[in-house]
Amino acid sequence: MAAAATGRTLLVFRFSALGDMAMTIPVMKQALDSHPDLQIVFVSNKNWGALTEGIPRLTFYPADFKGVHKGIPGLYRLFRELRRQFNIAAVADLHNVLRSKIVSTFFRLTGVRVRTIDKGRAEKKALTRQENKVLQPLTSTIERYATVFRQLGIQLEMGTKPVFSPRELTEAARAVVGAKGLEKWIGIAPFATYREKMYPLEKMEEVIAALSSRPNHKILLFGGGKNEAALLQELAGKYPNTVSLAGRFSLKDELTVISQLDRMISMDSANMHLASLFGVPVVSVWGATHPFAGFMGYGQSESDAVQINDLPCRPCSVFGNKPCFRGDHACMEWIKPNQITEKAGF
């Protein structure tokens, strides 16, 4: 076994996307808890530092790939910055893309040990192909991250304990959602990057209508971007006890609200993973993608997943970025709103 990288500093890369970045947090927290002499420098998108706040010995280092760290010269600059500021003992590349490979290579050339995530591409291809599909659970992404740490001699066992405790609402958050009293707060994040991962909005509106009519329930709508914010604001105006948070908060403020939720309803998207960090039960809705690919939220139960299990075409892609070859999006269209509301009950 390789000597552990404890006593010094481990450099960890995961540049994007937000959901995948969020899944690194439980692994790094467990590694730090298990090894009190370990320090981690985590390099990721400059906008996501709020996710690492409150974890001792975890230093967030922002990467700016559209600015000072753009292109190969920028990546070399990033390497030099990190090497100058930290005594790096080893590198854990949890992304395995061209950018992370280039920076890792710079470190490797100076004698620093590097280990890289095995994304299981061949297994995922077998899971998502149309013919001779191998429908079986694959190693979770979180476990794949943990394996990289173990390869560097940092032994850890992943559990399901929430990473963070509920946070006090910021003043900005309280001004919008009010104080958390005896109401049940249900977050709904209806959007996803790709159409194939998104439950039809008109059906999700039925979910909102049903849940907002329950006594002592408050519905909080999550989204981003001007178009999403406009749509959610319109929905919030139509139903009682419903508030849109889209475009109104920083990530830090939004996390305090998420930490106070009693349930989150989300697609296979970043909000599932953000809620999971606080141990919030998530009713996750799956269409073209599937929990078997390894992206179920940390500590979440597959029994809370809503999906059509008897469609032989599912899953048709790992990330939901391939157009529906059937053309009817049956994997989402066939899900009834009450399938979601029933799982969101108390």
| Structure confidence by residue, pLDDT tens digits, 220-253 | 999 988 899 999 999 999 999 999 999 999 999 9
Q: Cα separation of 21 and 142, whole Å?
A: 10
Q: Cα separation of 218 and 187, whole Å?
A: 8
pLDDT of residue 2: 41
Closest by alpha carbon to 268, among 15, 20, 14, 16? 20
pLDDT > 90? residue 11: yes
pLDDT > 70? residue 137: yes
pLDDT > 90? residue 165: yes
pLDDT > 70? residue 150: yes
pTM for the structure as a whole = 0.95
Q: Cα separation of 160 and 168, whole Å?
A: 22
C-alpha distances out from residue 164 to 22, 150, 167, 188, 275, Å: 12, 23, 8, 20, 10
Residue 54's pLDDT band (cuts 50, 70, 90) = very high
Residue 313's pLDDT band (cuts 50, 70, 90) = very high
* Mean pLDDT across 163-171: 95
226, amino acid identity: K
* Mean pLDDT across 47-68: 96
pLDDT of residue 3: 42
Rg (C-alpha) for the chain, rounded Å, is 21
Q: CA 45: distance to chain centroid?
A: 13
